Chain A
C-alpha cells in the first residue's frame, strides 16, 4: 500500500462521514442550534421584535420572570400536569393495556380504537370540541346539573378560576391516555407468555404476576412512556390555548401559553426569548438527568 493510497482511503473514509452526516448536520444546525443561540442572545435585551437590538438588559428578563407570580403559576401548572400524568394518567393507561392488550376477542380491537381515537385528532380541534362540551349554555355539565338540580342550572367550568385547570387537564388526559395505552399494549406483546404461565403454575397471584413479571419485562416501555409524558407536558399549548388562552385571569397558563401571552402579544420578544430559553433548559436538564439516571440505570 503506497502513501497515496492511504491518503485516498482517509479521504474516502471522512468523505463518507461528511456525506452521510452532512444533511442532518445542516438541518440540525440551521433549525435547532442556530435558533437556540439566537434566542439566548435576544433574551439579554429589551426588544420589541422590531428595529435594532440596542437596549441591553443582561439577565434582567430572567429576574423579572421569576418575580412574576403569573410565570410561577404557569410553571406550577406544568409541574401539576407532569404530576397528574405520571400518577394518574400512566397507571390508568397501564391498567387499560392489561385489560384489553392481551385479549384477542374481536371487540378488543374496537376497545383499543375507542381509547386511541382522541390521539388521532389535532389538539386544536380537541380544544374546540371540548369548549362546546363544556359550554355553560348547552354543554354536558349543564345538562347533568339541570337533571339533578332542576331546569336552569348552569355550569361554566372553564369560566371558573377553581375548576378551569382541572377541566383542561381532563381533556389532556382524555387525549393522551390512549396513546400511552397503545405503547403499553405494544410492550405487552414482548412479555413472553411462558413466563406468566410459569409464574401461574408456581402459584403466583394475578397481582404478583403483574408486579414481578409483567412490569419488570416492560420497564423499557414504561421509561419511554414516562419520558414522553413529561416532555409533552412541558410543551403543552394547543389544547390550553383553544380552550381559554391561559385564562380565566391566567389561571390555566402553562409555560408555552405564558410565552405567547407575554412575549408575542405584548411585543416583548426579548422577554419571550428568555421564557423560551428557560423552557428549553428545563427540558434539556430533565432529558440529561433522565438519560443518565433512568435510561442509563436500566442498562446496568
Chain B
C-alpha cells in the first residue's frame, strides 16, 4: 500500500514537473554554452550528405571554440515545419533554426520569439552578403538571421526534347504555349507538376500575376491601395486556364507530389517544369539512373506576357537560411558567421546545390551554366519577389495555393480564386 502511495506521488510529481525539468537541462552543461541547431535534411537517412557536412563543420568550430557545444538535429522540411510550430509557442525553440524568411518569420518576430541581431548583421554580415538577400531575413527594419542560399524559380527544360521538337527557348507566353502543343503532340508530358503538394502550382499563378501586373500591382496590395481582386490577379488565373486548356500536365497531376514531378523531369519524360534552384539535385535523386538529365538540362526565365506590365527579368525566388530564437546565446551569432564564410558557402553549393550568397563564393559555380544563369537572373532583376507562400502571412500563402489549385481543378473561376485570396488577406491584415 505504501509503495502504491509512493508511486502515485512520484507519478503526479513527474507529470506536473516534467516541463520544468526539460527547461532546466539546457543550461546545465559543465560551464559550456550549448547551441541547439535545427537544420533541414536532404533525405538519405544515415548517409545524408548534408548531415555529414554539418557535423564536420561543428567539429571544426568546436575545436577552436572549446567553450561551445553544438547540438544538431536534422529533419525533413514537413517535419521541421510541424515541430518548430509547436516548439516556439511552448518556449522550447532551438537557438538556431532553418527559415525561409518572409511571412512565417515575421509572425515569429512579431510574437517576440526571435532574437533581434540587427547591429551584428549590419556590422559583421552585411560587408560580404548582398543587401537584397539579407533583406529577406528582416522585418520592419530589424534583422533576425541570414540566408546562405538565394536563387530563382524558373523554367527547367529538357534540351534534347526541345531539339527534337525543333523549338528554341521561349521568350513570350504564346511561344511557351506553342511548345506545349508540340510536346504534347510528340507524346511527351509538356509540363510536369506536383499539384498535390500545391506549392508548385502556386509558382505558376504567382509568376503569371507578376508578368501581368508587375511590381506595381503587388505593391498596391501590400500598401492597402489595391487588392487581390485587381484585374492583373484575375488575369493570372485566366492565363493559367489558357495553359490548362492544352492539357499540359501529366495524368493525375492534382494528386502528384513534387517528387513525382521531378521524377518525370529526371527520367526525360517531361519537357519542362517550373521550379527553384534546387531542382537538378532533386531530379537526380528521383531519376531511375540517379543522374538526372545532366547536360541536357537547361534553364530560362519565365516568359513575358504581351500586354502585361511585368518584365521577363522580374524574378520570383528565395532561399534557405537560419534565424536565432529569442533566448539564443550570444555565441550563436558567431557560429552563424562561421557558417557563412566564403569557404563554407562554397561547400554548401557542393553539398546542397544552393546558390551562394557570400561574396566570392560564386566561384563554386564555375562550369555550371544553369546555376550561373540563376545568379544572373537574381542579380539582373529589378523586381525580386519572395515566393508568396513565404512572403505573405501563412494563412494567405495557403489561400494562394488553394486558389491556384482550385482554378486547375475547375472549382473556382479566376475571379473567385482572386476573391478567395483577397478575403483571407483582408482578414489577416
Residue positions of A touching B, CB distance < 8 A: 16, 19-20, 22-23, 26-27, 30, 48-51, 134-137, 152, 154-161, 164, 244-245, 247-251, 261, 264-269
Give residues 176-198 of B contacting A (CB, 8 Å): 187, 195-196, 198
| Chain B residue with Cβ nearest A248 | B254
- Are A27 and B254 in contact, with the CB atoms below 8 A? no
Could you tell me if A50 and B255 are in contact, using CB atoms closer than 8 angstroms?
no
Does B165 touch A at the CB level, under 8 Å? no
Q: Is B131 an interface residue (CB 8 A)?
A: no
Question: Taking beta carbons and an 8 Å cutoff, which residues of B are in contact with A?
Answer: 1, 4-5, 7-8, 11-12, 15-16, 82, 85, 88-89, 107-108, 110-113, 187, 195-196, 198, 250-256, 260, 263-264, 393-395, 398, 402, 405-406, 409-411
A154: which B residues are within 8 A, CB to CB? 250-252
Whether B5 contacts A26 by the Cβ 8 Å rule is no
Please state if B254 and A249 are interface contacts (CB–CB under 8 Å): yes
By the criterion CB–CB under 8 Å, are B82 and A136 in contact?
A: no
Per the bound structure, the CA–CA distance linking A156 and B111 in Å amounts to: 43
Which of A26, A51, A136, A251 touches B252 (beta carbons < 8 Å)?
A136
Q: Which residue of B lies closest to A152 (CB)?
A: B187
The answer to whether A156 and B252 have CB atoms under 8 Å apart is yes
> Across chains A and B, which 4 residue pairs bring their CB atoms closest together, nearest first?
A156-B252, A159-B252, A159-B255, A158-B255
A136-B394 Cα distance, complex, nearest whole Å: 31
Q: Which residues of A contact B7 (CB under 8 A)?
A: 23
A160-B252, A248-B409, A249-B406 known; A267+B88 contact, CB < 8 A: no
- CB pair B112 A51 closer than 8 Å: yes
Consensus secondary structure, chain B interface: helix
In the docked arrangement, what's the CA distance between A244 and B260, Å? Answer: 13
Closest chain A residue to B82 by CB distance?
Answer: A264
Q: A136-B250, A264-B85 are in contact. Are A248 and B8 (CB under 8 A)?
A: no
Q: Which residue of B lies closest to A135 (CB)?
A: B260
Using known A-B contacts A22-B8, A51-B112, determine if residue A159 contacts B256 with beta carbons closer than 8 Å: yes
- Known contacts: A244-B196, A267-B395. The answer to whether A156 contacts B1 by CB under 8 A is no
| CB contact under 8 A between A250 and B252, given known A27-B15, A264-B82 | no
Nearest A-chain residue to B108, judged by Cβ: A50
Which among B11, B15, B254, B260 is the interface contact of A160 at CB below 8 angstroms? B254
A249 touches B395 (CB 8 A): no
How near does chain A come to B86, taking the closest CB pair, in angstroms? 9
Are A267 and B394 in contact (CB-based, < 8 A)? yes
Per the bound structure, the CA–CA distance linking A158 and B82 in Å amounts to: 24
Question: Complex Cα distance A230/B16, Å?
Answer: 34
Identify A19's interface contact among B1, B198, B256, CB under 8 A.
Answer: B1
Roughly how many angstroms separate A255 CA and B178 CA in the complex, as a whole number?
43
Which residues on B sit within 8 Å (CB–CB) of A51? 110-112
| A266-B256 Cα distance, complex, nearest whole Å | 22
A265 CA / B198 CA spacing, docked (Å): 13
Q: Enumerate chain B residues within 8 angstroms of A250, measured Cβ to Cβ.
A: 402
The answer to whether A23 and B253 have CB atoms under 8 Å apart is: no
Distance (Å) between the CB of B268 and the closest chain A CB? Answer: 13
Give the docked Cα–Cα distance between A135 and B257 (Å).
Answer: 11
B-chain residues with CB within 8 Å of residue A136 when the two chains form the complex:
250-252, 255-256
Measured in the bound complex, the distance between the Cα atoms of B260 and A140 in whole Å is 16
Tell me, rounded to whole Å, the shortest Cβ–Cβ distance linking B57 to chain A. Answer: 31
Interchain CB contact under 8 A, B252 and A157? yes
B255 touches A248 (CB 8 A): yes
Give the chain B neighbours of A22 by CB distance below 8 A. Answer: 8, 12
Q: Can you list 30 A-B contacts (CB < 8 A)?
A: A19-B4, A20-B4, A23-B8, A26-B12, A27-B15, A30-B15, A30-B16, A49-B85, A50-B89, A50-B113, A135-B260, A136-B252, A136-B255, A137-B260, A154-B250, A155-B251, A156-B251, A156-B253, A156-B254, A157-B255, A159-B255, A159-B256, A160-B252, A164-B255, A244-B196, A248-B409, A249-B409, A264-B85, A266-B394, A267-B107
B85: nearest chain-A partner, CB-CB? A264
By a CB distance below 8 angstroms, the chain B residues around A158 are 196, 252, 255
- Which chain A residues border B12 with CB–CB below 8 Å? 22-23, 26
The answer to whether A265 touches B398, judged by C-beta atoms less than 8 angstroms apart, is yes
Shortest Cβ distance from B4 into A: residue: A19
CA distance A164 to B405 in the complex (A): 15
**A268 & B395 in contact (Cβ 8 Å cutoff):** yes
Instruction: Check A48–B111 contact: CB distance below 8 A.
Output: yes
Select which of A152, A248, A266 is within 8 A of B195 by beta carbon. A248
